[in-house]
Amino acid sequence: MCTTTRAFHNETCKQPTCGEWCLSKGAGPCILVYVHLRQNGSSLMFNNCSNPVNKSCYGIDIENSQNYTCIYKSCQNMTGLFNCTKGVCYNLTDAFICVANNKEPPMNCHARRGHVTCKDIKGIFNCTVGMCERIKEPYNCERRCLDIPTLNKNVILMSGNKVYLSKCESATDLVTQKEVWNEALNGSILMASCHEVKRFGDESLTAVDCINGSLTYEKLEFFSNFTHLLNLHQRANNFTQIAPNVFDLTISNESLLLINLEGCVNTLSDECKKFFKHYAKDGSDHNAPARFPCYYSELKKQIAVARFDLNTEYNQFLFAFFLPSVLLITSCFTLVLCQQTVVVGDDSKMRYRGFKHCITADVDGKPKLDNGDEL
Q: Are 205 and 153 in contact (CB under 8 A)?
A: no
Cα angle: 230, vertex 232, 237; to 5 degrees: 120
Q: Are 125 and 89 in contact (CB under 8 A)?
A: yes
Contact predicate 239/213, CB 8 Å: yes
Q: How far is CA 50 from the centre of its chain?
A: 33
Question: What is the 8-class DSSP label of residue 135?
Answer: B
Q: What is the pLDDT of residue 249?
A: 94
Domain extent listing, the chain: 2-38+251-308, 42-57+147-243, 67-143, 311-369
H-type alpha helices, the chain? 114-117, 183-186, 226-235, 246-249, 271-279, 310-341
Question: Is the bond preceding 138 in cis, omega lying within 30 degrees of 0?
Answer: yes
pTM of the model: 0.73
DSSP state string for 296-314: EETTEEEEEES---HHHHH
Per-residue pLDDT of the chain (375 residues; tens, 9 = 90+): 999 999 998 888 888 899 888 876 666 788 999 999 999 999 999 999 998 888 888 777 666 677 899 999 899 989 998 989 889 998 888 788 777 778 889 999 988 899 999 999 998 899 999 999 998 877 777 777 878 898 889 999 999 889 999 999 999 999 999 999 988 876 788 999 999 999 888 889 999 999 999 888 888 888 888 888 888 888 877 777 789 999 999 999 999 999 998 888 988 888 999 999 899 998 877 778 999 999 999 999 999 999 998 888 889 889 999 999 999 999 999 999 888 888 888 777 878 877 655 445 555 555 555 555 555
In the prediction, which pLDDT does 372 show?
A: 52
* 261, amino acid identity: L
| Count of CA atoms in the C-beta half-sphere (13 A) of 22 | 10
Torsion angles phi and psi, residue 326, rounded to 5: -65, -40
Are the beta carbons of 34 and 294 closer than 8 angstroms?
no
Q: What's residue 91's pLDDT?
A: 87
